[in-house]
Amino acid sequence: MVPGEQSSLAIPSLTAPRKMTSMDSPLAHHLAGNQIASSSAYQSYQRQRQLTLGDLLLENRIVFLQGEIHVGNANELVMKLLYLQSENRRKDIHFYINSPGGSVTATLAIYDTMQILSCPVATYCVGEACSGAAVLLVGGTKGKRFCLPNSRVMMHQPMGGVGGQVSDIEIQAAEMFRYRDVLNKIISNHSGQSVEKIAADTDRDFFLGAEEAKEYGLVDDILTKPPAQVEDEDE
Asked whether residue 137 is domain-assigned, the answer is yes
Ramachandran bin of 127, using left for φ above 0, alpha for ψ from -120 to 50, beta for the remaining angles: left
If you compute the radius of gyration of the chain from its CA atoms, what whole number of angstroms results? 32
Name the CA dihedral angle for 184, 190, 195, 199, rounded to a multiple of 10 degrees.
Answer: -40
Tell me how far apart the alpha carbons of residues 150 and 188 are, in angstroms, rounded to a whole number. 24
Active site residues: 131, 156
The model carries a pTM of 0.77
Q: Which helix (H) or strand (E) holds 213?
A: helix 210-216
The helix/strand/coil state of 100 is coil
Residue at 30 is within a domain: no
pLDDT truncated to tens, each residue of the chain (235 aa)? Answer: 545 555 444 545 555 555 555 556 666 566 556 665 566 665 665 555 678 888 999 999 999 999 999 999 999 999 999 999 999 999 999 999 999 999 999 999 999 999 999 999 999 999 999 999 999 999 999 999 999 999 999 999 998 777 788 888 899 889 999 999 999 999 999 999 999 999 999 999 999 999 999 999 999 999 998 876 454 444 4
At residue 234, the pLDDT reads 47
Supply the range of the domain harboring residue 89: 55-229
168 located within any domain: yes
Q: Per the domain annotation, does 72 fall within a domain?
A: yes
The count of structural domains within the chain is 1
Whether 39 is covered by a domain: the verdict is no
- Residues in contact with 222: Cβ distance below 8 Å, sequence separation at least 6, in sequence order: 146, 147, 148, 149, 210, 211, 214
Element (H, E) at 66: strand 62-66
Does some domain include residue 13? Answer: no
Phi and psi at residue 59, to the nearest 5°: -60, -25
Return the CATH number at 132: 3.90.226.10
Any domain includes 37: no
User: For residue 76, is it within any domain?
Assistant: yes
